[in-house]
Amino acid sequence: MRGNGSSSPPRTTPCDILWSWLGSFLGIALVAILNYHLLAESDAVLLIGSFGASAVLIFGAVSAPLAQPRNLIGGHFVSAIVGVTMFQMFGNTLWLAAALAVSLAIALMHITRTLHPPGGATALIAVIGSGKIHALGYTYAIIPVTTGALLMLLVALIVNNIPNKRQYPKYWW
């Protein structure tokens, strides 16, 4: 049953599906390879769950405002800072730290015009993540968050601009 008599969104072309698949595969593969092979001997982390959702946006919805570089990088960075701060302030009450991290991250992303839905997960990971994540402190905002997002952006800039009918980004800043 359809609500309000509206129609379904148009189907995605097989070509767009292929490019979305390829870009997301290469973007996540790059970050994962570096995480599991290059950083395997250290305590460093590069791959976080919110990058999966970012891949959906930057490879599957390349024209969406929430997928643009400002939103990708800024949204993750702002959210990481908020998440770490809330963990440091309220980490003894995880439900409060988690709720504040996500809600304040959303508010600050709105204020800074960097709304990127995976940023909510980035803030939440800073609170509920492992001891390895907590030990990073504010470094979490640089590695893994900003570094991983920049690596995925690099792949998006290459892959999304190979086909003539795709253009990424629509705007930078």
The mean pLDDT of 108-124, rounded to a whole number, is: 98
The per-residue pLDDT for 3 is 59
Question: Mind listing the pLDDT tens digit for each residue in 44-92?
Answer: 899 999 999 999 999 999 999 999 999 999 999 999 999 999 999 999 9
Q: For residue 41, what pLDDT is reported?
A: 74
Q: Which residues contact 123 (CB under 8 A, 6 or more apart)?
A: 79, 80, 82, 83, 86, 101, 102, 104, 105
**For residue 170, what pLDDT is reported?**
96
Q: What is the pTM of this model?
A: 0.93
> Which of 44-48, 57-61, 95-99, 116-120 is predicted with the least confidence, judged by mean pLDDT?
44-48
Which tokens is 145 given? 């968050």
Q: pLDDT value at position 5?
A: 62
Phi, psi of 62 (to 5 degrees): -60, -25
Per-residue pLDDT at 4? 65
